[in-house]
Structure 1
Amino acid sequence: MARRHDLLATSLPLAYAGCGEPAFAGDPLRGEARADVVVIGAGITGASAAFHLAEAGARVRLLEAERVGAGGSGRAFGQVVPYLRTEPARTVSDLGTEAGERLIATAAGTPALVAELVSRHAIACDLDASGLIFAAHSAGGSVVLRERRDVWAARGVALPLLDMEQTLAAIGGGSYRAALVEPRGLSLNPLAYARGLARAASAAGATLHERSRVVDMSSSHGGWRVETTEGRIACDTLVVAAGVAIGGILPELRRRILPFRVHEAATAPLSADALAGILPRQRALTDTRRLPSGVRRTGDGRLVVTLSGPAGGGRAGDLGGGLARLRALFPRLDVTAFAESWSGWVDLAPDQYPRLVEPRPGLFVGYGLSGRGLGLGTALGQALARRALGSRADETSFPGMAGRPPRWLPGSSLAVAAAAASIRRIDAWQARQADAPRLPTSNGPRP
């Protein structure tokens, strides 16, 4: 059993918090203040927005209710994927050719954007650029990977498709029938990356206030006034990048996202001998299940695993299932318990597209990253900064109202939880039909 499980997300994963960038020390907002732009939320999206605003010369205040990266940003699996949650043809159909292609291109460029920021600001986040591997858990999964290879080949990107023997060598275990290598993908420590972005924003001139929960906001004299638990700040423009907390800040957007709980666990650091041959080429593995399991190697020798678990509520993830997954993939690996496990939340949009909207003049909101927050969150923060600085809505690659953004209906959380449970059963049945190992599924994002 894990020695530490943070079900209520009250503390940060030690596997992430103790490695790389140190915790940021931002004083709470007290008294009266003035800024050009206030950014609410110091996850990856908000920290990216604050950095790009400050770099452009704006006077920026970044408000965070807890600590930098304390939400979903600091609890993510840790891979930067150059895809949306939908395949390109579906995206173009949903959003239209122009808007769809812009968003596809933005997603494809997110690993390069992240890598450039990490390099330029010397962010210590255990970034690994050796690529990602996506494995086929069924015959249908093999078809999905072949189609993805062909789609990206037509776009000028070569994605090697491995046969069963090559897949076994690339993963170091398992019995997947095929795998696709994504050389553009990255893996990293997501909490350290969020902290590094906040440090870069501070170095560029932004002022960060941690433990500054927003309790009220209102338009005032052509600008905005934001009140926190201990202070008040006036600004010309307001940016909200609050993830699953968006509904509490902007009730009119409450049904645009659904909080979806994800679960992960990490082993203690393992020896080089124990890890020999395990994910030797790419440090992060996911598969083609609609709720796939992920396994990732960290720089200090841990294995991070996504767990199956409830999409909401108060129960923990399936630790036994996570251990069974490791044993099935790597039978010689002697791991009998996880060192810790944790839970977090994803801001799931009904159509799974991130959006940038202006619900009121001078108020810009980014939401709906749907499990793609590391890369797309960075790009969304950059786009929010540009809009706050005066760029037009048609100049951003993120859709606003394109495709008529749907809303979640009352009771959707129960429906989504039931659907997730059903999908897990279907994925498990497909794996058995393919004569694959009975690997537990997870709540991780689809590759």
Structure 2
Amino acid sequence: MSDNTRTLWHLTSAEQVTAPPLAGDVTADLVVIGGGFTGLSAALHAAEQGADVRLVEAEAPGHGGSGRNVGLANAGLWLPPDDIRAHLGDAVGNRLIALLAGAPALVFELIARHGIACEPVRSGTLHCAHSPSGLADLCRRHAQLTASGAPVELLSAEETTRRTGSGAFHGALFDPRAGTIQPLAYACGLARAAQAAGARLHGQSPALEIEHKDGAWQVRTSGGSIRARKLIQATNAYHRGLADRRPAHVPVHYFQYATDPLPEKTRAAILPGGEGCWDTGLIMTSFRLDRAGRMIIGGMGALDHPASGIHRAWVRRKLAQLYPALSRQPLVTGWHGRIAMTGDHIPKITRPGPGALAAHGYSGRGIGPGTLFGKAMAEALLSGIETNLPIPAIDRHAERWTALQQAYVETGATLMHLIRARVGY
């Protein structure tokens, strides 16, 4: 059985943080709603600038998508550079590309500076071609990325086999800027660092009411209220209640299964360089090792419906296809999380009201962009200058047919995994 409340990351996190519920009525310079990468980064950087910060989280820091993440700290977005420019224009697009190129450096600098025990490995990532058409896509991405100044490398099938330990791929795109982390431990480490800087974090404190009145924001929870001049909403795919403030996105689920630590001999032949990987499949697959040598493999889909057994059966066959030596390796832990997708796969920064900013829609790239966007929003609100935001803030963002799109993606992932589980792919 999968346990979606106690993930592998919960079981192995070396970072712990206590965030007591809000009690009473308080004031602050900045109130942050949401305790994921974005909200915690915002709280940390605002507190380091001397602001009086309060953060409220419905569960515990890292509970949502941040703590259920694959743990790939990637540079850039899922979209290749030319597509980003096509959506945003050259000036804004190039700025976003440049900033996100440095997002992994920001993540690993914060880890080092605050001593966050989150298994950081900056050995790069491998985007693996699952087919000849996938390799052609990687060739296009390589050309665009190198033209934009990215130090990426296109690998042959033989080199990909050496790097991954699997002969299943036609080549790969290696990005040395990226790496892997234990994502829940990173979130808890950010929370600990924010508290050390003076921010006060409150778990088990869902926002029940958000109102701008008399020049200030009022956020009410069951235990009290916070009155603050500035507000950041960082609820992303885990927004709870308050439908009129829900970020517009398509919720997409992504699941993962983990093995026990692999035997040393087996482990030595798999990803010897420590890269994190995902493939070019339309219904993509990710795979990586953690520090203890567990294989963690994932794909699109949820584990909380009657057909979820199809996903597990597919994982068993997929794991055997990638690594025949693991064909009998038990899957001991399974979980899933929600991703906030936007129609153009580009994150959004919106203005919920005066003196407020909100970010959402990382479309599966939450670690680097979330950390960067949280920092940038905090700095913009405290300085009153928005020109340094990664993308311009807009008054609102809308998405159409989100429930239908969500059902389409889940059904498509389930059917694809059913077919591939039966044919052995």
The bucket for the TM-score relative to the shorter chain is over 0.9
Provide the rounded CA distance (Å) in 1 between the counterparts of 2:185 and 2:304.
26
Does residue 5 (structure 1) correspond to residue 2 (structure 2)? The answer is yes
- The one of 315, 320, 324 equivalent to 2:317 is 324
Does residue 283 (structure 1) correspond to residue 280 (structure 2)? The answer is no
Would you say the 8 A contact 1:316–1:343 is kept in 2? no
Provide the rounded CA distance (Å) in 2 between the counterparts of 1:21 and 1:243.
25
Report the secondary structure of 1:267's partner residue.
strand
Report the secondary structure of 1:239's partner residue.
strand
Q: Report how many aligned residue pairs link the two structures.
A: 423
Provide the rounded CA distance (Å) in 2 between the counterparts of 1:94 and 1:241.
23
Would you say the 8 A contact 2:126–2:174 is kept in 1? yes
Give the Å deviation of 1:274: 2.3
Would you say the 8 A contact 1:263–1:316 is kept in 2? no
- The one of 236, 254, 267 equivalent to 1:262 is 254
Report the secondary structure of 1:393's partner residue.
coil
Does residue 355 (structure 1) correspond to residue 352 (structure 2)? The answer is no
Does residue 375 (structure 1) correspond to residue 371 (structure 2)? The answer is no
Would you say the 8 A contact 2:252–2:301 is kept in 1? no
Give the gaps of 5 or more residues in structure 1. Answer: 432-436, 440-447
Report the secondary structure of 2:50's partner residue.
coil
CA deviations on 1:199-230 (whole Å, 9 max, x unpaired) are 01000000111111111111122001111011
- The one of 182, 189, 202 equivalent to 1:189 is 182
The TM-score with structure 1 as length reference comes to 0.88
Provide the rounded CA distance (Å) in 2 between the counterparts of 1:438 and 1:151.
34
Would you say the 8 A contact 1:350–1:407 is kept in 2? no
Equivalence for 1:417: 407
Does residue 136 (structure 1) correspond to residue 129 (structure 2)? The answer is yes
Give the gaps of 5 or more residues in structure 2. Answer: none
Equivalence for 2:84: 91
Equivalence for 1:304: 296
- The one of 28, 36, 58 equivalent to 1:43 is 36
- The one of 159, 167, 171 equivalent to 1:174 is 167
Report the secondary structure of 2:391's partner residue.
coil
Provide the rounded CA distance (Å) in 2 between the counterparts of 1:312 and 1:342.
9
Mean Cα deviation higher: 55-64 or 333-342: 333-342
Report the secondary structure of 1:33's partner residue.
strand
Match runs of 1:178-217 below 5 Å: 178-217=171-210
Provide the rounded CA distance (Å) in 2 between the counterparts of 1:212 and 1:196.
20
- Which residue identity lines up with residue 69 of structure 2 in the other structure? A
Report the secondary structure of 1:84's partner residue.
coil
Equivalent pairs: percent with the same residue? 34
CA deviations on 1:95-144 (whole Å, 9 max, x unpaired) are 11111111111221111010100000010000111111111112211111
The TM-score with structure 2 as length reference comes to 0.93
Provide the rounded CA distance (Å) in 1 between the counterparts of 2:408 and 2:219.
38
Would you say the 8 A contact 2:210–2:220 is kept in 1? yes
Would you say the 8 A contact 1:21–1:192 is kept in 2? yes
Equivalence for 1:434: none
Report the secondary structure of 1:21's partner residue.
coil
Provide the rounded CA distance (Å) in 1 between the counterparts of 2:45 and 2:204.
22
Provide the rounded CA distance (Å) in 2 between the counterparts of 1:270 and 1:116.
30
